[in-house]
Structure 1
Amino acid sequence: MRLTMYTDFSLRILMYLGAKEQSELSTIQDISDAYHISKNHLMKVSHELGQAGYIEAVRGRGGGIRLAKRPELINIGEVVRRMEDDFHLVECFNPAGNSCPITPVCGLKGVLGRALAAYLQVLSEYTLADLLLNKHDLQAIFHKEVEHNPHGIRYE
Structure 2
Amino acid sequence: MRLTVHSDYALRLMMYLSLRKDDSLSTIDGVAAAYGISKAHLMKITHELGKKGMVETVRGRQGGMRLAREASAITVGEIVRACEPDFALVPCMEAEAGNACVVMPACVLKRALATAAAAFLDVLDGYTLKDLIGPTAALRQLLSIDAAGSPERFAKSKRRSSLTASTMNKTS
1:32 deviates by 0.4
1:43 deviates by 0.4
Matched residue, 1:87:
87
Alpha-carbon contact 1:93-1:109 (below 8 Å) kept: yes
Matched residue, 1:141:
142
Matched residue, 2:26:
26
Name which structure has the greater RCO, CA cutoff 8 Å, separation 6+. Answer: 1
Matched residue, 2:11:
11
Matched, 1:98 2:102: no
Alpha-carbon contact 1:56-1:67 (below 8 Å) kept: yes
Structure 1 runs not aligned, ≥5 long:
151-156
Counterparts of 1:63 and 1:136, CA distance in 2: 26
Counterparts of 2:82 and 2:43, CA distance in 1: 17
1:126 deviates by 1.0
Matched residue, 1:118:
119
Alpha-carbon contact 1:55-1:65 (below 8 Å) kept: yes
Matched residue, 1:108:
109
1:130 deviates by 0.6
C-alpha distance after superposition, 1:31-77 (max 9, x if no partner): 00011111000000000111111111111121111111110010111
Alpha-carbon contact 1:19-1:136 (below 8 Å) kept: no
Counterparts of 1:55 and 1:110, CA distance in 2: 34
Q: Partner of 1:57: helix, strand, or coil? A: strand
1:95 deviates by 3.1
Counterparts of 1:116 and 1:126, CA distance in 2: 16
Superposition TM-score, scaled by structure 1 size: 0.89
State the Cα RMSD in Å.
Answer: 1.8
1:131 deviates by 0.5
Alpha-carbon contact 2:89-2:113 (below 8 Å) kept: yes
Matched letter for residue 73 of structure 1: A
Counterparts of 2:88 and 2:53, CA distance in 1: 26
Matched residue, 2:148:
none
How many residues align structurally? 149
Q: Partner of 1:95: helix, strand, or coil? A: coil
Q: Which has the larger radius of gyration?
A: 2
Counterparts of 2:53 and 2:34, CA distance in 1: 23
Structure 2 runs not aligned, ≥5 long:
146-154, 163-172
Q: Partner of 1:9: helix, strand, or coil? A: helix
Counterparts of 1:22 and 1:118, CA distance in 2: 34
